[in-house]
Amino acid sequence: MVFDPRGSRRLDMPAYLSDLLLAGINSEITIYQNTNGYSFCMKQKLNNIIKNIIKNITKNSEKGSHEMEEKAPKYYLIKKDIIKKIEAEDYIAGETIPSERELMDLYKVSRITIRKAVDELVMEGYLYKVQGKGTYVKTDENSHDLFAITSCTEDVIKMGLTPTKKVIVSQVVPADVSRAKALGLLPGENVFRLGRILYAGDEPLNYTVTSLPYHLFPHIEQHDYAKESLYHTLETEFGVTLCKARRTIEAVLATDEIAEYLDIEEGMPLIKFGCTTYGKLAGNEEEELPVERFHCYYRTDKYKFYIDQVVPGPDLRRK
């Protein structure tokens, strides 16, 4: 047991150490301790006591950390080391990391171990792969405001890349129940269905399937949407002013079809947007109508999204 030299109260060790710290690093203290019925007095500078405590804590901590690392799987230790190099900018954002063979030689492990470490770093958002080119450190440059209503083409231009599009489907079809409900139609009414792959430079970025009420936009299928902007067509030919959009967002795994479109492996995580866009038509500026329903699948190794939040004023904070 330990007694406070400034009084007769008993203290447990943590509380007593707190008192010692408050007493000041350079002050002298006296500790009384009962051992086998005998009492002894020890006078020592407090800073020496603190140094010994810190030394023992650090030694035990390093020992425990070393033991944990010895028991950790090799791929996990490689992951940690690669993350450290990314954070230290030894591996530069937007540039490739060493090849599989180079990493195998560096860490003296098998190809399977390296692939597991790299695949997990891809899943966790540190890296992304480009088939035939290598594995790159992900950057924050290719990000998009979740609340902005802009075309995907505009997003790619803002990234400083050249957008191109490939049309997969362009046809007038009967609406299913889900799309009819979203667009305010009866099931079976016609919609224009447009499916396109968007490329940023030479790489596919997303795949979007869009449905529009055909009775509002007759003959809209006659445009070449590999070259033309859908939103530009809505605005210039049909006089649509886009007003708002209601979006959903979820994480999904790539099906074989989507994986083929985006040049990725089946089962890779994707960000899926569902969106209903509302607009005002020329001659009917008072009413907002659903003009578009789309699903968009974004590659998570190429794209990030952000949300700008604004601190409310004092009047709103009080509510």
Rounded to whole angstroms, the Cα distance separating 274 from 293 reads 8
Range among 60-64, 128-132, 195-199 rated most confident: 195-199
> For residue range 269-280, what is the model confidence (pLDDT) as tens digits?
898 989 999 999
Lowest mean pLDDT among 6-20, 61-75, 101-115, 126-140: 6-20
- Asked if pLDDT for residue 65 goes beyond 60, the answer is no
**Which long-range contacts does 68-75 make (Cβ < 8 Å, 24+ apart)?**
74/107, 74/109, 74/113, 75/109, 75/113, 75/114, 75/116, 75/117, 75/120
87's CB contacts (< 8 A; 6+ apart) are none
> For residue range 231-251, what is the model confidence (pLDDT) as tens digits?
999 999 999 999 888 888 888
At 124, the pLDDT band (50, 70, 90 cuts) reads confident
Torsion of CA 58, 61, 65, 67, to 10 degrees: 110
Global pTM reads 0.54
What DSSP letter does each residue of 129-184 carry, written as one string?
EETTTEEEE--SSSEEETT----HHHHHHHTTS-EEEEEEEEEEEE--HHHHHHHT
Which pLDDT score is estimated for 136? 86
At 137, the pLDDT band (50, 70, 90 cuts) reads confident
The rounded percent of the chain whose pLDDT value lies above 90 is 41
Which pLDDT score is estimated for 102? 94
Compute the average pLDDT of residues 286-300: 91
Which pLDDT score is estimated for 175? 93
At 33, the pLDDT band (50, 70, 90 cuts) reads very low
> For residue range 201-223, what is the model confidence (pLDDT) as tens digits?
888 989 999 999 999 999 999 99
Strand 304-306 versus strand 269-281 pairing type: unpaired
Which pLDDT score is estimated for 189? 95
